[in-house]
Homo-oligomer: A and B are copies of this chain.
């Protein structure tokens, strides 16, 4: 029997486009997925570049106008990896066209967009996801199992830091990631968004936040991204940086836990230090993307005198997802987060079941981001629930 095929239309082809394409290619190799992805079309505005990308990444065709992709009959899935200010329009059009849809995070530029996007996918009964890929690190999934099973007891603390340093040089150009109109925010939407999603995934809803933000370098030469997190100066002209370089947040969770978050692109020496710790009544977990295959776990009920954080290599056959790979102790890397998330997306479509994180998560995350932005501007505590009610 032939497997169902899902024909992918990928809108965008840079850092995240590469990550998603690779994942689609790898999924059937490693997993018994019920619907096989077909790399049908990739879309970008620069024809020469998108053509090259199509060839390199193995797409059957390319387009330069995303509307054409959304309209094509031979496309089942729209995968959006373009800058943040384009997510809403594309996703809504895709949903209306009956396509299943996944977007890179953050879902939207603001709460209004997020709500319209959420309405579109639910009204049109398509499967939808937002690509908070760090949920799908096996060690993070194991942390989820520990929390869900009650092994950590009541949760007291969630603390997260996401530290990068790729824009510390004043000569790093002002790209879309530093332009508020395109990206919505800086460290906040780009990386704090990941920590906040993990917090919601592992601990629960955030009720109230207070935050501040800093832009250390106020003006930069105009330029563009060149792949990954690299960029080049495109002209001599300077322009003001309109996003935060760093954001610090204190949060109160619905269940009484206390959350602290910090996200910065000015933490020299930390290339991509995405880390969190949870402390509960009966135990703690610690995780750090730099050693992404390891989860540190403490159990208060271990024998007295022999208590301590265990460093678990989350690479056993019994651990989430990793049984499909190599052998215990054989590490996997960053790209596997996309493999796992997109595997769940494909499975969800094949089975007609909505996987997580979906647009409802994206919307709730957006409300948290909006609350943080208001807190930064107004220098006060902001209630997340009230924002959702008001809007």
Using a CB–CB distance below 8 Å, which chain A residues touch chain B?
15, 18-19, 21-22, 25-26, 28-29, 56-58, 142, 156-157, 159, 161, 163-166, 168, 210-212, 214, 216, 228-230, 246, 248-250, 252, 256, 258, 260, 262, 264, 266-273, 277, 279-284, 289-294, 297-298, 300, 302, 304-313, 315-319, 325-336, 379-381
Contacts and interface: CB of A to CB of B under 8 A. Distances in A.
Contact of A279 (B19, B266, B292, B310): B266
Copies in the complex: 4
A330 B327 contact: no
A214 to B, nearest CB: 5
A277 B380 CA distance: 26
Contacts of A290: 294, 313, 329, 331
Contact of A157 (B246, B260, B284): B246
Contacts of A256: 214, 216
Nearest to A316: B305
Contacts of A58: 29
Contact of A300 (B268, B272, B297, B318): B268
A316 B212 CA distance: 31
Given A250-B248, A284-B267, A284-B268, A328 B229 contact: yes
Contacts of A252: 212
Contacts of A159: 161, 262
Given A157-B266, A159-B262, A305-B316, A272 B15 contact: no
